[in-house]
Structure 1
Amino acid sequence: MCSPNCLKPGSNLSGKERQTVITLSIIFVVVFSGFIAIQNLQSTLNNESGRGVISLSVVYGCFVFSSFFAPPFIRVLTAKGCLIICCVSHVVYAASNIYPVFWTLLSASAFVGLTSGPLWTSQGMYISQCAISFSQTKNVPVKEIFGKFHGLFYFSFAFPRVLGNSLSSIILMQGHYNETTTNSSESGEIMTCGVELCPEMSITQVSLEEPDPLIVKILMAAFTTLSIIGLLLCVFLLPPLPITVTSSQKSICIKMISSSCSCLVVNIEIAMILYIPSVVLFSFVESFSWIDIPKAYISCPFGVEFVGFSMALKGVMNGISSFLLPRLANLIGRKYVMTSLIIGITASYVGFLVWTPTDDGLPQIMGIIAVQGLFEGGFYTLLAALLSFMYAKKTEAAFASLTTWKALGNTVNIGLAYYLCERSRLYIMFALCTLSIISYVALEIHLQKKTKLTEVDYEEENETINVELRGAEDSSDTK
């Protein structure tokens, strides 16, 4: 797991670990406020020819590629350098949505995707190295600090969901809308929204209302400004990580090859194989929130102006669970909390399956979204903390693998949204939930056995040393 030499004492993080985590969190809050809100609106604002969904597919398709090559890029550019470049890409992405021409939108989406792998790998490295440094300085168990620092980051990462989505709803409500045209029954049931919505219906049977273009431009300009502020904070306030390069790595090419190979090696380890289904489940949950909830469950039955408020509510619940659940896991055990979260996520999707959209059904769907947000936030926080604990010596490769599988899951699910109806995709979610809970239980059993073996080896080593010491004492007494 982690040895005392994971991070050299006296590094530039020593004594500033918590401050660094807070600074990193603020940067992500400011930069992602715009990106998350735009992401939630893409399937509605850029509905023509599926342009919004296609642009998100480009983002996460490039994300998969960049995640695999994240470790070598971080070795060359440093973690802070990668964060700065990614902040620039978010400025470009937000600006491209002011005038969303197809080719500019796709180019900006590709830029964001290609920088997102190094971004999230660097984020994981910052949190992990701060936690290791803090545990050495304060003599606190590193496992506990991993949970707290990841919890602090993901608690704050709920704020961009609240800030960006609330801002989008407030600004969009300033426009004038026509009534959304849907097929409604005499009882007020909206027939083609919710679980009944299919891709082919979005054009022929459902007319999604479009806000005033000027209002949209004002919104995107505000998000661009936030991204620029985040870039400046990253450049001037975030300290760099300690550089750890071994003398055997004599060239950049060797560094890149060895780092990429380490990413591959991590993915064939038993622990990572058992860990991956939970990551894929989270990625499907996450992309469902970007594509399906805004379009099928909010915009279609109630209007685009309510998307921001619903996603802001979800962000609040994400933050609460990210802050509280790691502490609960320290008290009663991670495995009990994680298992309960997967069961809770499954239950929330049962709610999406059975909910019937009606004219007065907004409070009910808001409740389902809040429950899903509560389980989703804590789930990823504990997943990240678990990965930090399993691969404290291999943070680059481990978090590169995490972002790769997460981006791959997002890409697949966004692609499915272009072809499958909501009902079919919910059935896929239930299958993933089942696979995830089985693999997670197996992972905990594997880690428990591995820990016991480590303890046995440690005890045997101590016993050998004691025997040698007693033998030395007996020989000296004989002399």
Structure 2
Amino acid sequence: MCSPNCFASENNLSGKEKRTVIILSIIFVVVFSGFDGMQNLQSTLNNESGRGVISLSVVYGCFVLSSFFAPSFIRVLTAKGCLIICCVSHVVYAASNLYPVFWTLLSASAFVGLTSGALWTSQGMYISQCAISFSQTKNVPVKEIFGKFHGIFYFSYAFPRILGNSLSSIILMQSHYNETTTNSSETGEIITCGADLCPEMSMAQVSLEEPDPLTVKILMAAFTTLSIIGLFLCIFLLPPLPITVTSSQKSVCRKMLSSSCSCLRLNTDVAMILFIPSVVLFSFVESFSWIDIPKAYISCPFGVEFVGFFMALNGVMNGISSFLLPRLANRIGRKYVMASLIIGITAVHVGFLVWTTTDDGLPQIIGIIAVHGLLEGGFCTLLVALLSFMYAENTDASFASFTTWKALGNTVNIGLAYYLCERSRLYIIFALCTLSIISYVALDIHLQKKTKLTEVDYEEENETINVELRGAEDSSDKK
């Protein structure tokens, strides 16, 4: 956690903080518009042999490994260098979906996953260093700036869902779909969608209609173009972060070993241990919106062409909450907002559990998906803002730990989608909600005690300095 004088380092970003945050946000909007659109369609368009879900599990499985080594790569390649490589990997991933067979999807997925740890760790470092610099320059409490800057980023990060998913629905609407009724009972109830959907069910049972292949290729070409634009923006517009460790100070091998060890040590800290359940909960909530909502609650009852519009709505609500909830937390207290979010997440997944998938159930599922996006966006923003404040002096290792646990949760949940029915996985989320609320209450108590101790130490240090100064003055007067 940040002490009162932990920000006394040289201010290298003075006057460029907001501009840097905005440029970084635009890059993520452009690159992830394509990636998010493809991600939400994998479980439907590449449903054969489960290759879409398997490819996503490869992405996040490799993400776990790359997150552990992210600080090492960032110290060697710099944060901007890592971001450029990550943009290249997203271009390759988008291009692989033009010819989506197992070997192209899996190799491109591994490339994305192996660079994603450095991507998100670099993003966290950019936002944190800009916030610290801004607080020094403007003499504003850094805790508030962490929330605002992360709010700006995650507000803009909702736009990829809006742009990418809207684009996917607009293009897929141009394709031809056959009308099917094999999944409906005489009363109009769609019997195998929603919480009743299981991975072993056949295409006929769940009525998943695939669009024309040419339409899909046009869509993937558009996503590839967006990724290329993001790459050029990163190369030419994003300023580099100051290099804090030079090659003359340590060898490359020693730097990598030191960074990895610092990431391991951080996971033994009490605050991080109490923080991890909330990160895992968020990862399950996030991957639920990528895999389960598009397939079980949109494609199955209404058709794949509606996935984009539904998930764009989810993105709109995500952005609104990312922008507003940090400001609300600054006014009424972070702990109250966080507790409310976890309770709300529990409630909205109860809605997914009990929702009856009928032909006229469109308004209900729209409302549930909108609330899900609202809670997901706010929860993520407050988590990363809290992490920035807890470990402001060790941002690379803290964000590497965050992305490692987040990727691990995503990998587990996506892997479970290949084996468990929706109902069983919803029960797992309920268990995580319970664990998360308990651990967060304990974390808040721990941070309050630690803050008081830090403030006492700081006051004692100042008092000691004042006593020494008075003693020096008295000695001078006697002379």
TM range (shorter): over 0.9
- Checking the alignment, whether the CA contact within 8 Å between 1:249 and 1:255 is kept in structure 2 is no
- Kindly tell me: are residues 247 and 112 of structure 1, through their superposed partners in 2, closer, same or farther at Cα, counting changes over 3 Å? closer
How far 1:458 moved relative to its partner? Answer: 2.1
- Kindly tell me: are residues 277 and 224 of structure 1, through their superposed partners in 2, closer, same or farther at Cα, counting changes over 3 Å? same
Q: Does 2:398 align with 1:398? A: yes
Q: Which residue of 2 is the match for residue 435 of structure 1?
A: 435
Q: In structure 2, how many angstroms separate the alpha carbons of the residues matched to 1:326 and 1:283?
A: 20
Question: Alpha-carbon deviations, 1:82-127, whole Å to 9, x = none?
Answer: 0000101111101110111110111100000001000000000000
How far 1:469 moved relative to its partner? Answer: 5.1
Q: Which residue of 1 is the match for residue 380 of structure 2?
A: 380
Question: Alpha-carbon deviations, 1:285-325, whole Å to 9, x = none?
Answer: 00000110000000001000010011000000000000000
**For 1:192, what is the secondary structure of its paired residue?**
coil
Q: In structure 2, how many angstroms separate the alpha carbons of the residues matched to 1:151 and 1:319?
A: 9
Q: Which residue of 1 is the match for residue 50 of structure 2?
A: 50
Q: Which residue of 2 is the match for residue 62 of structure 1?
A: 62
Q: Which residue of 1 is the match for residue 305 of structure 2?
A: 305
- Checking the alignment, whether the CA contact within 8 Å between 1:91 and 1:227 is kept in structure 2 is yes
**For 1:358, what is the secondary structure of its paired residue?**
coil
* TM-score scaled by length of structure 2: 0.97
Q: Which residue of 1 is the match for residue 265 of structure 2?
A: 265
* TM-score scaled by length of structure 1: 0.97
Q: Which residue of 2 is the match for residue 35 of structure 1?
A: 35
- Checking the alignment, whether the CA contact within 8 Å between 2:36 and 2:164 is kept in structure 1 is yes
- Checking the alignment, whether the CA contact within 8 Å between 1:180 and 1:301 is kept in structure 2 is no
Question: Alpha-carbon deviations, 1:145-198, whole Å to 9, x = none?
Answer: 110000000000000000000000010000110124543222211110001111
Q: Which residue of 2 is the match for residue 325 of structure 1?
A: 325
Identity %: 87
Q: In structure 2, how many angstroms separate the alpha carbons of the residues matched to 1:181 and 1:404?
A: 43
**For 1:205, what is the secondary structure of its paired residue?**
helix
- Kindly tell me: are residues 475 and 93 of structure 1, through their superposed partners in 2, closer, same or farther at Cα, counting changes over 3 Å? closer
Q: Which residue of 2 is the match for residue 131 of structure 1?
A: 131
* Count of matched residue pairs: 478
Q: Which residue of 2 is the match for residue 22 of structure 1?
A: 22
Name the amino acid aligned to 2:390: M
Q: Which residue of 2 is the match for residue 154 of structure 1?
A: 154
Name the amino acid aligned to 2:113: G
Question: Alpha-carbon deviations, 1:45-99, whole Å to 9, x = none?
Answer: 0000001000000000000000000001001111000000010111110111011
Question: Alpha-carbon deviations, 1:236-284, whole Å to 9, x = none?
Answer: 0000000001688421000000000000011110000000000000000
Q: Does 2:62 align with 1:92? A: no
Name the amino acid aligned to 1:407: A
How far 1:363 moved relative to its partner? Answer: 1.3
- Checking the alignment, whether the CA contact within 8 Å between 2:7 and 2:136 is kept in structure 1 is no
Q: In structure 1, how many angstroms separate the alpha carbons of the residues matched to 2:212 and 2:473?
A: 89
Q: In structure 2, how many angstroms separate the alpha carbons of the residues matched to 1:127 and 1:183?
A: 48
- Checking the alignment, whether the CA contact within 8 Å between 1:86 and 1:119 is kept in structure 2 is yes
- Checking the alignment, whether the CA contact within 8 Å between 1:180 and 1:208 is kept in structure 2 is no
Considering only aligned residues, what root-mean-square deviation do their CA atoms show, in Å? 1.6
**For 1:256, what is the secondary structure of its paired residue?**
helix
How far 1:201 moved relative to its partner? Answer: 1.4
- Kindly tell me: are residues 381 and 346 of structure 1, through their superposed partners in 2, closer, same or farther at Cα, counting changes over 3 Å? same
Report matched runs for 1:50-199 at 5 Å.
Answer: 50-199=50-199
- Checking the alignment, whether the CA contact within 8 Å between 2:44 and 2:299 is kept in structure 1 is yes
Q: In structure 2, how many angstroms separate the alpha carbons of the residues matched to 1:242 and 1:180?
A: 59
**For 2:454, what is the secondary structure of its paired residue?**
helix
How far 1:477 moved relative to its partner? Answer: 7.1
- Kindly tell me: are residues 472 and 7 of structure 1, through their superposed partners in 2, closer, same or farther at Cα, counting changes over 3 Å? closer
